[in-house]
Amino acid sequence: MKELLKTKFMRLFILCVLTCVATLIKAQETESEPVGKSFYDTRIVNGQSIETNNEGVMKFIIAHRFGKINGGAYELFGLDQGTMRIGFDYGISDNITLGVGRSNYEKTIDSFFKARIIRQKKEKGSPVSITWFSGVAARGLKFSDDTRENKFEHRLAYTHQALIARRWNDRLTTQVMPSILHRNLVLTESENNDIISIGGAIRYVASKRFTFSVEYYHALPDMISDPFENSLAVGIDWETKGHVFQFHFGNSQGMTEKFFIGETTGSWADGDVRFGFNITRDFKIKGRKSR
């Protein structure tokens, strides 16, 4: 059953890529003004949005996830614990972004490539925006079993996503994220090295500075096993001049795809919800005028 699901999804994934290429070619045949930004920032909550950095812009990101709220007053409702990630994303062009980050959760280093393929047009042209994401994460913790042959590639996990979004009007944007996660090494025989997941997100603009977001990743049946859960997060974005503040609640502790797609341990039903935030600041590196 698992192999059949993988085969069907791979066919769907390849079809999606071919559709992206075909849509791009068709979109180039018509001239129409693209829609404005679909999301305030390059991330929705944990996952990536379709947005990329402008050319020459360096984005500095501080992300934090606290402990579980149901820890009660003794744990200050989760504020006594915390996981942090610091990252830098750079715009090679308006359509291509490279990023790198380091998280203290399992001492993980991650990097990614992100390319905007198609932009949604207001009139003639593509009805959606499509961005491709590929990332790799390296686990930095010491191996727990020194008796086996441990290799560096055992630390690695790879993620590929097609980010497909539509801005329906000035207030509402939706995005879907078909995703493939591959882990070179898993902890138990019951876990899958490959996880196929479909993500979905909704963004609603409440005012000029505030938006609400919901993000959910659902793994295909039998792709994840206990104690792992699907990732769900809700949040609010606050945009200021040069900064974007994102405050949210979710059941995922890790902030790279390896963790929130494949290794989320908290359950909303059990109250295993964590408060977190992302803070981003953009710096213009290329093209600055010197005085």
pLDDT tens sequence across 230-254: 999 999 988 887 678 899 999 999 9
Structure tokens at 213: 């977001």
pLDDT tens sequence across 203-224: 999 888 889 999 999 999 888 8
282 vs 78, more confident? 282
43 beta partners: 48
Segment (H or E) for 149:
none
Q: Give me the sign of the Cα torsion angle 171, 117, 91, 85.
A: positive
pLDDT tens sequence across 67-102: 888 888 888 887 888 899 999 999 999 999 999 999
Which burial class, exposed, middle or buried, applies to 163 when counting CB atoms under 10 A from its CB (0-12, 13-18, 19+)? buried
pLDDT at 37: 82
Instruction: Give the range with max mean pLDDT: 27-31, 105-109, 124-128, 225-229.
Output: 105-109
Domains assigned to the chain: 2-141+153-284 (2.40.160.40)
Give the span between the Cα atoms of 290 and 282, in whole angstroms: 18
Mean pLDDT calculated for residue range 152-157: 89
pLDDT of 29 above 50:
no
Q: pTM of the predicted model, to two decimals?
A: 0.84
pLDDT at 291: 39
